[in-house]
Amino acid sequence: MTQNGSAGPDSSAPETAALKMPASPTSSKKMPGRPKEMSTQAAVPAAHQAPKALPDFILERNELFDQLKKQRNQELANRDKPPIEIKLAPAPGQETIVEGKAWETTPGHLLKNLPKERAGQVVVAKVDDQLWDLDRPLEKDSKVSYLTFDDPEGRDVFWHSSAHVLGECAEHEYGCRLSHGPPTPMGFFYDMALEPGKAVREAEWPSLENRAKKFAKDKQAFERLEVSKDNLRKMFGYSKYKMHYIEKFVPDGESSTVYRNGTLVDLCQGPHIQNTRKIESFKIMKNSSAYFLGDQNNDSLQRIHGVAFPSKQQLKDWEIFLEEAKRRDHQVIGQQQKLFMFSKVSPGSPFLLPHGTRIFNALQQMLRDQYWERGYQEVQSPNMYNVDLWKTSGHWQHYQDDMFRVQVKDDSTDPMPLSDKQPDGKTPLAEIKDKDKGIFALKPMNCPGHCVMFRDEERSYRDLPWRVADFGVLHRNEASGALSGLTRVRKFQQDDTHIFCTSDQVQSEIEGLFDFMSHVYGLFGFPFKLKFSTRPEGYMGTLEDWNAAEARLQQALINFRGDDWEMNEGDGAFYGPKIDVTISDALKREYQCATIQLDFQGPQNFRLEYRTSESGELVAQQSEEHRERDPKAPGPGMARPVMIHRAIIGSFERFIAILCEHFAGKWPFWISPRQILVIPVMKAAEDYVREIQAIFHKARMYVDIDVSGNTMQKKIRNGQLAQYNFIFVVGAKERDTRTVNIRNRDDPSTQKMGELIPLEKALERLIKLRDSRSLENKIDMGE
């Protein structure tokens, strides 16, 4: 189960699950507890018909819930309730101590300590940094704070609860089998299986919305209950979809949680809002079909999208926001400006057209300029590696379903199976045989190739830090249902870099990355947030290494941002702590682009090492002797480097989509695919127009001319719609004085009559504007 979804991964929206789950399962195995065929008595009732009896599975599910709830309440009543101390944070920056009782006092009881207005806005609690139901008893001494709809986590909980209301509406409306219903960045959805041949119709949306309004007025409480796996099977045996999640994600002998609101009992980790009365406005946004688990080999389900808010005004504001987001949609702008296309000959792989490639190249050149200044070396690595490399890196064990594999036939021998390798499935790099046959895979990331490069020659501490950058093409086998424009693709390129350094160099390298990141995001006007994730359970490496690395990262964060960053304890990768970076666009939407990840595992898997001293041949000899005794350990005088994975813009394709919507297609001059349009007032000025084009083209600017038969006003309007940064209008006067009349896209005062500027000065100033990489679309005419 997911924390923010009823069960299972969201196959077509950014993943919000707190528990690690596969994003794109590729099998469709028959699950235990496959339901009987749906009864015809559960036919879809029309809105005007008298309500029909609820399906038996709903009644039986609730009966079992009532039985188990009664048992749970009895257990709770018999439990000791020792006094506890509660650190209550009624508002950010405030804290007070209150007394309570374990297994009795709830965060909801403590709302009386908050101002009435704020208490009314609370949607969920946070207990010791864990999201917590308002009606769930505290279990020990705790720190309690509260979230409202305005907090991203609070909004996710609100929309998650609203998805449950939608699920209840759908069961009443259709008698359907629900799959999963998570929140998304734009609201929520629920997937469901209707009777064969049935589909959700837009005409039914009002009926669903009316049901939701009624359920909200009913003030349905969200009741949490922990249920054993055996009872979960009894409770959800009617649904093969719920059974899939139970069998896959709940270990035998263990339990999970369910939530009830009204007649809906749903498999879910929660938490939820206190009751449905919080939902003041509820709207169905669209419906579509979706494959179960995003796999086209599975059942085709009906998906209903919705959105809900604590007030009616927020819904009105949301509708205005949606109109603006629709206007900025990168897929619409991409088509209008001819930036990219897709084809069924390679699903999920964008074709960047000439104008889209101009944007890509400008981004890449900006990064290359920074690499030059900051001591990075650009490399190129293969697109495809044999399976042994992926076993060495660990990707084969954990990621192979998301990789594109190629079988190169070899009649003489089959590729060595995984079981014939080391017990952990890893092949030492030195033992990989030369192979041009067997299983190969397209690379989904560059790090293994960079490890191979590092290991190819002997390294000294004097060579570190070794910073390498790679713009290589990457492929990931995303589920077809998850593909979405440029934001979710199968083929992409990243600003991928890896830094190999000593442990003592980690802090200074991280501080350098912060400076790099600030520069890049500043070019586009992106504010950003930082989240520091620390050591999880089951971490790899020594506690000493982790403590030292975390201390250095934390100090780097403090030096850079003071206390303006978040701590996410226990959420680091098993192979190292990380810092996630989230940017915010013009519509206040947040995107994670940058990640700074420390890695202790990669250097261990590839047995990377560097010389820590210059003791000469004696150290080298001792190293060989040491390796014979312990092949996995660095030899005397040698040490493992720390590997830092880093991307700032991430996928070029996704970043271009973000920029497209951030700027609404009005590109800054330095990155614009259409910088200048030159228009003649008369045919006699066309030679001068072509001369201007040649001059600016020589200065490596994108300049077009319009010598068509359209009227001048039509030409200017076409240029404005195409979002040219500057339109030069020239006639006999401009030709004779060698000037240009410039209309600035972003300056309304120049639209009727532009500025008359000498040609040479215009060239000089536009070169300066381009090279400054300024956000402002303005020609500086100062001396």
Q: Which residues are catalytic?
A: 447, 476, 494, 496, 498, 578, 645
Six-digit token pair at 180?
């999963």
CA atoms within 13 A on the CB side of 701: 28
CA atoms within 13 A on the CB side of 562: 1
Six-digit token pair at 285?
């946004």
End-to-end CA distance of the chain: 65
Convert 88-110 into a string of H (helix), E (strand) and C (coil): EECCCCCCEEEEEECCCCCCCHH
Q: How many CB atoms within 10 Å of residue 747?
A: 15
CA 170 – CA 44 distance, rounded (Å):
10
Closest CA to 159 of 242, 262, 273, 315: 273
Peptide bond into 271 cis (omega under 30): yes
CA 93 – CA 104 distance, rounded (Å):
27
How many angstroms separate the Cα of 54 from the Cα of each of 51, 62, 173, 440, 766?
A: 9, 12, 10, 54, 70
Using DSSP, state whether 566 is helix, strand or coil: strand
Using DSSP, state whether 627 is helix, strand or coil: helix
**CB 577 within 8 Å of CB 513:** no
Tokens 């005794």 belong to residue: 629
The type of residue at 295 is D
The secondary structure of the chain in percent helix, strand, coil, rounded to multiples of 5, reads 40, 25, 40
Paired residues of 351 in beta bridges: 341
Kindly give the pairing relationship between strand 610-611 and strand 638-639: antiparallel
Tokens 């001792």 belong to residue: 622
Residues 6+ apart with CB under 8 A from 562: none
CB burial of residue 380 (10 Å; 0-12, 13-18, 19+): exposed
Q: Describe the strand order of the beta sheet including 528-533 as a list of residue ranges.
A: 377-379, 466-470, 496-501, 642-647, 590-599, 578-584, 528-533, 566-568
**CB 76 within 8 Å of CB 96:** no
The type of residue at 539 is Y
Six-digit token pair at 187?
């609201």
Six-digit token pair at 773?
């990489």
Q: What is the DSSP letter of 105?
A: -
Helix (H) or strand (E) holding 255: strand 255-261
CA 155 – CA 693 distance, rounded (Å):
52
**CB 592 within 8 Å of CB 529:** no
Task: Name the CA dihedral angle for 81, 86, 90, 95, rounded to a multiple of 10 degrees.
Answer: 170
How many angstroms separate the Cα of 603 from the Cα of each of 457, 643, 644, 666, 747?
A: 14, 7, 10, 44, 54
**CB 2 within 8 Å of CB 20:** no
Q: Note the residue count of the chain.
A: 783
**CB 476 within 8 Å of CB 444:** yes
Six-digit token pair at 471?
């713009």
| Alpha helix segments (H runs only) across 301-353 | 312-328, 330-336
Paired residues of 227 in beta bridges: 256
**CB 724 within 8 Å of CB 677:** yes
